[in-house]
Amino acid sequence: MFSTDESIYYSRQILLQDFGQDAQNKLKNSHVFVVGAGGLGCPALLYLAGAGVGTITIADNDKVQVNNLHRQVLFSMDDVGKNKAEAACEHLRKLNPFITLHSIPHRITTENIHQFITGADVIIDASDNFETRFILGDYTAQERIPLVFAAIFGFEGQLAVFNYANGRAFRDLYPTLPNYTSIADCTIHGVIGFVPGILGCLQAAEAIKIISGLGTIMSKKLMVIDLLTLDKKEFIINQRDSSKRTERITNETNYNSITMVGEINASDLKHRLDNSPETLFLLDVREPSEFEYFNIGGTLIPLNKLPDRLHEIPDNKDIIVICKSGVRSFKAARYISESRKDVNILNLKGGLMAWLSETDVPKF
């Protein structure tokens, strides 16, 4: 049953022909799990909450940064430094007090996915990396939970729904993890807010349609849209052998190269630099302009130059890989660990942003 205030809140969409009270009830009794509260997740979350999805869980281990705000429209300057999942819940409670919100300030991994994702009717993949996408793809295929996928690059967006009504699975589209050099990174290539904004809204639309039973679901096709020209194409996703879709979630060795990169936190790195710097090789994988602006020493090899300069990495020291937030350095560390079995790799957790906040060094 809806309170009077709830009925008023949802009154305009209840008036919609073919929607009505029945669809609103389905939304109220549903649970959507959103992985990522970034450029895709923020608009998706706004419209899921506004529509009245009864329970929304948000998972994101990242913190709000100033350079997020042009596209992550849930947040403001007051949120800088806060965990994204927790800040998103805080804002969404103000938007819609009639729903239940849960935050998970952690990265989704093969180790915790069964613990965190429970009772979800739909999962929205609003993540920004292929490692998480493959983990979600395998888990949802095994559990037969609809997965709403979107990705962006430049002015182009992609949208698909997996595991819906015997439709396609994520591995039907991406059977294997792409080579790291083919994976786009907005920290290098850039991003403008309306692209993830529109794709995130489309993800919310697909989730609402799935729950309410309305419309046609993008379950057997991949939609690709160019938001500069508004040209749209749809590609049939060929179905692969169903027995091969779910086996990988139980084969932990398949994920060794994805999840087993070691990490070092900023305070531990500071201690080692102060006491035994000769045992370390600092590898900074940012762009030259970033390195010139601020660095903690080490060797600069931008991420996109790494394949040609692997020979510069020594095999007799611990390699500490560094970037701004820890995302590019994670990719670099994984690539090095796959290419050079003779070296010990550690990723600086949280990157230089964590270094600046956790160590007693001058701020810039």
pTM tops 0.95, yes or no: no
Question: 108 and 227: one domain?
Answer: yes
Mean pLDDT value across residues 114-143: 92
Q: Tell me the pLDDT tens digit for each residue of 143-180.
A: 999 999 999 989 999 999 999 988 899 999 988 876 55
Residue 15: give its domain's CATH number. 3.40.50.720
Residues 131 and 276 reside in one and the same domain? no
Domain with residue 322: its CATH number is 3.40.250.10
- Claim to verify: residue 70 and residue 208 sit in the same structural domain: yes
* Predicted confidence (pLDDT) per residue in 42-57, tens digit: 999 999 999 999 999 9
Nearest residue to 235 via CA among 158, 302, 306, 287: 158
Q: Are residues 214 and 354 in the same domain?
A: no
| Claim to verify: residue 11 and residue 106 sit in the same structural domain | yes
Contact by Cβ (8 Å): 267, 305: no
Is there a domain that residue 132 lies in? yes
pLDDT tens per residue, range 258-293: 445 788 888 889 999 999 999 999 999 999 988 998
Is residue 364 included in any domain, yes or no?
Answer: no
Q: Range of 354's domain?
A: 261-358
In a domain, 363, yes or no: no
Would residue 130 count as lying in a domain? yes
Q: What is the pLDDT of residues 59-83, one digit of tens each?
A: 999 999 898 899 999 999 999 999 9
Q: Please answer whether residues 87 and 237 qualify as being in contact, where contact means their C-beta atoms are separated by less than 8 angstroms.
A: no
Domain end among 256, 281, 301: 256
Last residue of a domain, one of 194, 226, 256: 256
Residues in contact with 44: Cβ distance below 8 Å, sequence separation at least 6, in sequence order: 34, 124, 126, 200, 201, 203, 204, 207
Same-domain check for residues 282 and 201? no
Number of folded domains that form the chain: 2
